[in-house]
Structure 1
Amino acid sequence: MVEDAPQLPLTAHSPLRRIAGNMGRLLSGKAAAGIISLGSIAIAARILGVEQYGVLNLVHGFATLMGGTIAFSGFHGMVRYGAEALNRGAHTQFRNLVLLLALIELGMAAVAIALAMLLVPWVGASLGWSPQAIQFGGLYCFAILATVRATPQGLLQLAERFDLIGLHPVIMPLVRLAGALAILFMDGGLAAFLWVWLASAIAEGLSMWVLCWIGTRHLAIGADGRPTLKGTRRDNPGIVRFIATTNLDLTLRDIAPKATPLIIGWMLGPAAAGLYALVQRASAILIQPAQMLGEAAYPVVTRLLISGDNKAAGKAVRRSAIFATGIALLAAVIMCLFAGKVLVLLGGASFAGGASLLILVLLGRAMIAGMPTLSAALTAQGRPWISARANLTSNVGMLPILPLMIWWFGLNGAGVHGILQSLVLLSLLIWSYNQSRLAPSSGM
């Protein structure tokens, strides 16, 4: 860290150009990561087959569910309160904020890992894991470290180092691909893939902190002494409620996608969970760009609101959301035409029966492609509880319906359930956004 860190003034570029620039840097990394990921997925699916591939994803899915539910994300708090502190030149306050959010995130991750280890034997037996997978499951709980990266990511956003944020998604797929190739030539099995997936998860978490150290040293605060937690809450009014609500919103947003494969595995077995996992991966091409658009828009909208330019903020949000939805729907239509071939190409002949499920999941995901941007706008306004309420209703509130959908429609019921969730979330967030001060009187 260096002395006399500059403030973060708004650049001369228009908000839409800044969002597009941020998005472009993020997409470059995600595109490369997606291509690399296809290699490791294809190797794992073909070597393991649909059932053992399902076990691999159930073990990984349990760890990520625990991490996403219990672990803490300081991303939104870092961007909002950090931007305010830097704009005021409050360097000591900023440094103390970083310490607070980093300690909370690391501490909650430790709690999540410990609790996950305790639950592994019961969860593994309930979901049909092999004895080998249950034995390895306790160690695999350290994959939760992949989720411990929100605070450094927020710092990189404040530093406008979207090039480094865009680089980060490549690291985990590279580790997986290298490991999968080694397994291919050494004739390994499920245990080998669990080791590789664990190594890639740990690399995903630790690498973000390394990239943060590289990219944010100019944000280092020119203040004497060591950072302290004393007075941090007083210096950041409302921060406890804000970070608690934004963290709840992220948890509610992710809980259904992460819990769905586990429910499928519990009801239909590892083979069905493996097929659904590959369908999720194939459809991720739709939701990941939308998530990145919300991520790219959030710091821009936040700074516009801090500067008082609500009109420009609202315009940026609306256009970004409409653009994301249009692109996602177009991509969904194209992918639906080749649904069966996509799954066979990725996983081999044992995954051929998932074409109808992939079509349903694609439609559900395309419908909500603009929602991350609207959620980011509501959070930037300091009203994250509105987005959290919508996600509570659509994700958690509708999750008990999933077993009924599976009972009635089989595995395709998960796709039908996803469409119903998307309809509810879409309706709630558009209504909530149109009530906000960023929306014009005529609405979206």
Structure 2
Amino acid sequence: MPPAASLSLPPSGLRRVLGNLAHLLGGKAAAGVISLVYLVIVTHTLGARDYGVLILVNSYVVLVGSVVAFSGFHGVVRYGALALTAGDTPDLARTVRFMAVVEFALGAVAVAVAALLVPLVGPRLGWTPDAMRLAIPYSLAVVATVRATPQGLLQVARRFDLIGLHQTLSPLVRLVGAVGVWVAGGGLTGFIIVWLAAAIVEGIAMWGLALVAWRRLLPDERLLGPWRGVPGRKPGFGRFILITNFDLTLRELAPNLAPLTIGWLLGPAAAGLFALAQRASSILQQPAVLLSQASYAVLADFAAKREFKALKHTVWRSALLALAAGAVVVAVLAVLGGRFLTLLGGGSFVGGTALLVLVALGRMAALASAPVAAGLTGLGLPQRSMAVALLTNLGLYPLLPLLLWRLGVDGAGWHAALQGLIATAILALLFRRDVRRAKLA
């Protein structure tokens, strides 16, 4: 029988990451099945062009939300882990309150900006008159992006099961609403209203779930309490949250900017085809986001305790596992992708196989890079990931219009593949160098 001490050993970093990921994937798997049902209803009802308009309206608002609003996710997780390690729960409470105030304030600004710009943007994207009228109140969908602080608190509390549960809420609202619109014989207007309701539920629900984490971690702290002065109390805090927020903004920029650029240059039908290719390859994109979320809390804990060997081991094993899984998915899509797109969207989405495979390649690379980027942030070096995102999302963006002009909508696939592969290679090189430096410091 093993000695008693060995029974209390903590699980390996990879096991912890996979445990967190299992909770997230459980919710995502349910959400994926639900999303597949409503996606078939929407695409077959609207066709490529009107589906493209729906995607463009949503992408526009999400883009404004990601650029203007503020994410408190990394600040809460990193400094929350440090506060818990030090046993300083009042500091954790103050940090969460501060990030919540910042996120709410800039979220309100994002709603106003999105509404004001609709008359300028809508006509260039081919929106219908009904879509133009609804796009202004649809700016409230920014609420779906104003939920990073409570998500960070849930991660600090290790309630990944609740984060997984949350992922099913928006798809459920979309499914129920889509069925209702379909039965009633509705069209684009009805689906836009349903998408708005789902976004509002998605944002509000996360804050409600975070109360569970608050009661567990901070049972003696009031929700409304001191919040000012957090940057002054924590050296480097302000710089850290600004860099990580900018990094997240850049990462979310490309997925939302690409369909808007396609819609601007090629019209809503091309944007609809690209959006369906993105959705069909979301089996890779969503795990990339989830793997980053699942691994970051573990890696931040290793970094806080200066367990660099465990940090490096966990990052590389997670990345290789993600790459292997992604390669299998890409191979399947290369063989069955055309039939899959037609099954999902109907006859108006024929001819997107090459686009689907290229988008999937980019997302396979992003899946492998997710734990590497999380490792760099856990080391307190979010600027590395930000610089790479700046290069690939903005530096390579001028290639997108050129590729669209030469290759049509397939050019967007080549652009996505280049972005993912280049970003992954650079991040891997940076992590290898920086973890070595951290060990010597």
TM over 0.5: yes
C-alpha distance in 1, partners of 2:322/2:169?
Answer: 26
Match of 1:330 in 2: 328
Q: Secondary structure at the match of 2:380?
A: coil
C-alpha distance in 2, partners of 1:161/1:11?
Answer: 21
> CA contact under 8 A between 1:311 and 1:438: conserved in structure 2?
no
Query: CA separation of 1:46/1:316 partners in 2, compared to 1, >3 Å: closer, same or farther?
Result: same
C-alpha distance in 1, partners of 2:229/2:243?
Answer: 21
Q: TM-score, normalised by structure 1?
A: 0.94
Please, which runs of 5 or more residues in structure 2 have no aligned partner? 1-7
Q: Confirm whether residue 247 of structure 1 aligns to residue 245 of structure 2.
A: yes
> CA contact under 8 A between 1:74 and 1:105: conserved in structure 2?
yes
Deviating 4+ runs (over 6 angstroms):
none
Query: CA separation of 1:194/1:156 partners in 2, compared to 1, >3 Å: closer, same or farther?
Result: same
> CA contact under 8 A between 2:49 and 2:272: conserved in structure 1?
yes
Match of 1:141 in 2: 139
Match of 2:342 in 1: 344
Size of the aligned set, in residue pairs, is: 432
Q: CA deviation at 1:433?
A: 1.1
> CA contact under 8 A between 1:164 and 1:215: conserved in structure 2?
no
> CA contact under 8 A between 2:118 and 2:135: conserved in structure 1?
yes
C-alpha distance in 2, partners of 1:438/1:281?
Answer: 38
Q: CA deviation at 1:230?
A: 3.6
Q: CA deviation at 1:225?
A: 10
Q: CA deviation at 1:439?
A: 8.7
Query: CA separation of 1:421/1:23 partners in 2, compared to 1, >3 Å: closer, same or farther?
Result: same
C-alpha distance in 1, partners of 2:166/2:436?
Answer: 32
Equivalent residue in structure 2 for 1:362, among 356, 360, 363: 360
Aligned AA (2:429): W
Match of 1:320 in 2: 318
C-alpha distance in 1, partners of 2:336/2:366?
Answer: 22
Which stretch of the first structure deviates more once superposed, 262-271 or 306-315? 306-315
Aligned AA (1:128): G
Aligned AA (2:411): G
Match of 1:4 in 2: none
Q: CA deviation at 1:258?
A: 0.8
| 1:80-111 Cα distance to aligned partner (Å, 9 max, x none) | 00111122121221111111000101111111
User: Superposed, which structure 2 residues align to 1:187-336 within 5 Å?
Assistant: 187-220=185-218, 222=220, 227-336=225-334
C-alpha distance in 1, partners of 2:91/2:55?
Answer: 42
Which stretch of the first structure deviates more once superposed, 207-216 or 135-144? 207-216
User: Superposed, which structure 2 residues align to 1:56-75 within 5 Å?
Assistant: 56-75=54-73
Q: Secondary structure at the match of 2:427?
A: helix
C-alpha distance in 2, partners of 1:293/1:180?
Answer: 29
C-alpha distance in 2, partners of 1:88/1:221?
Answer: 17
Match of 1:376 in 2: 374
C-alpha distance in 2, partners of 1:224/1:200?
Answer: 30
Aligned AA (1:94): L
Match of 1:125 in 2: 123
Aligned AA (2:414): V
Q: Confirm whether residue 84 of structure 1 aligns to residue 82 of structure 2.
A: yes
Query: CA separation of 1:242/1:135 partners in 2, compared to 1, >3 Å: closer, same or farther?
Result: same
Q: Confirm whether residue 153 of structure 1 aligns to residue 151 of structure 2.
A: yes
Match of 1:409 in 2: 407
C-alpha distance in 2, partners of 1:196/1:223?
Answer: 37
Aligned AA (1:322): L
Match of 1:183 in 2: 181
C-alpha distance in 2, partners of 1:122/1:304?
Answer: 48
Which stretch of the first structure deviates more once superposed, 316-325 or 230-239? 230-239
> CA contact under 8 A between 2:38 and 2:174: conserved in structure 1?
yes
Q: Secondary structure at the match of 2:367?
A: coil
C-alpha distance in 1, partners of 2:34/2:264?
Answer: 30
Q: CA deviation at 1:232?
A: 1.9
Q: Confirm whether residue 47 of structure 1 aligns to residue 45 of structure 2.
A: yes
> CA contact under 8 A between 1:94 and 1:221: conserved in structure 2?
no
Q: CA deviation at 1:226?
A: 5.5
> CA contact under 8 A between 2:97 and 2:224: conserved in structure 1?
no
Query: CA separation of 1:117/1:224 partners in 2, compared to 1, >3 Å: closer, same or farther?
Result: closer
Which stretch of the first structure deviates more once superposed, 73-82 or 365-374? 365-374
Q: CA deviation at 1:292?
A: 1.1
C-alpha distance in 1, partners of 2:223/2:191?
Answer: 46
Q: CA deviation at 1:368?
A: 2.7
Q: CA deviation at 1:16?
A: 1.6
Q: TM-score, normalised by structure 2?
A: 0.95
C-alpha distance in 2, partners of 1:101/1:346?
Answer: 40
C-alpha distance in 2, partners of 1:54/1:117?
Answer: 20
Which stretch of the first structure deviates more once superposed, 173-182 or 226-235? 226-235
Query: CA separation of 1:364/1:230 partners in 2, compared to 1, >3 Å: closer, same or farther?
Result: closer
| 1:182-230 Cα distance to aligned partner (Å, 9 max, x none) | 1111101111000000000111111111111134311115358952134
| 1:327-385 Cα distance to aligned partner (Å, 9 max, x none) | 00111101211011111111111111212211211122212321111111100111000
Identity across aligned pairs (percent)? 46
What's the Cα RMSD here?
1.7
